[in-house]
Amino acid sequence: MSSDWKSVNIASLCKGIYDGPHATPKKTDNGPIFLGISSLNKGQLDLSSLEYLSEDDFPKWTKRVTPKKGDIVFSYETRLGEVAIIPDGLRCCLGRRMALMRIDRSKAIPEYILYAYLSPTFQRVIRERTIHGSTVDRIPLTEFGSFPISIPPLIVQKEIAETLKALDDRITLLRETNTTLEAIAQALFKSWFVDFDPVRAKQEGREPEGMDADTLLPRLISGQLRLPDAEAMFGEV
């Protein structure tokens, strides 16, 4: 019921709110991850392009806090509104303009806080409290704990988080499938209309590799041909 929902200060749901050093360490080719705000992408961590720091520097950059599974990281300068959750096994430190909420699990579920942070209501709170500077926009971290956030009982939080996570996973899968289909279609186009593989095969008295050329494309389009089979025919895509 809506009466079970409360508006509370976000700090009341946290064991602590921290930021990282206001500096940048010397980068290395490997080691612990230096987690910058560029890794925040619509509620997820984008780890496709990473920076690292040395083991010697790691203790200095984690003196205030060492991120751990379930912590919520967010940007408090530029890229405001971006947020993500730390997954299991990610050894990292906070970069510049990055802050972290450590959720009190007796009061809130981290995954729920992630989605609540991304909600239009909380995003509006961020916009209303943004300080527009001459160089960057920012939210004052000293005041962030007083930002109001809506929260239901724990059991409802769990249901909301699980439902939205399932939808996110489905969206991710569909995007990956679409990318694979596009790559296979490009490979088919190149094979048939640039390299003319079916023509060459016919001239040499053999069938195109994998199956008959008259049935390959229709089966792929209809879904009768599974993606792993198509990838095996045309190589890694």
What pLDDT does residue 43 have? 92
Query: Do residues 44 and 136 both lie within one domain?
Result: yes
Query: Do residues 141 and 203 both lie within one domain?
Result: no
Tens of pLDDT along the chain (237 residues) come to 466 899 999 999 999 999 988 888 899 999 999 999 999 998 999 988 889 999 999 999 999 999 999 999 999 999 999 999 999 999 999 998 999 999 999 999 999 999 999 999 999 999 999 999 888 999 999 999 999 999 999 999 999 999 998 888 787 777 777 777 777 777 776 766 666 676 677 667 776 654 454 555 555 555 554 545 544 554 444
pTM of the model: 0.74
Neighbours of 182 (CB within 10 A): 11
Cα 44 from chain centroid (whole Å): 2
Query: Do residues 143 and 210 both lie within one domain?
Result: no
Query: Do residues 104 and 176 both lie within one domain?
Result: no
Query: Do residues 48 and 114 both lie within one domain?
Result: yes
Query: Do residues 84 and 192 both lie within one domain?
Result: no
**Of residues 104, 65, 100, 107, the one with CA closest to residue 86:** 100
> In which domain, by residue range, is 62 found?
2-152
Measured CA to CA, the distance from residue 192 to residue 33 in angstroms comes to 44
**For residue 118, what are the contacts with CB-CB under 8 A and spacing of at least 6?**
42, 43, 81, 83
Measured CA to CA, the distance from residue 72 to residue 41 in angstroms comes to 13
Query: Do residues 148 and 178 both lie within one domain?
Result: no
Query: Do residues 181 and 140 both lie within one domain?
Result: no
User: Domains in the chain: how many in total?
Assistant: 2
Query: Do residues 122 and 213 both lie within one domain?
Result: no
Side-chain half-sphere CA neighbours of 211 within 13 A: 13
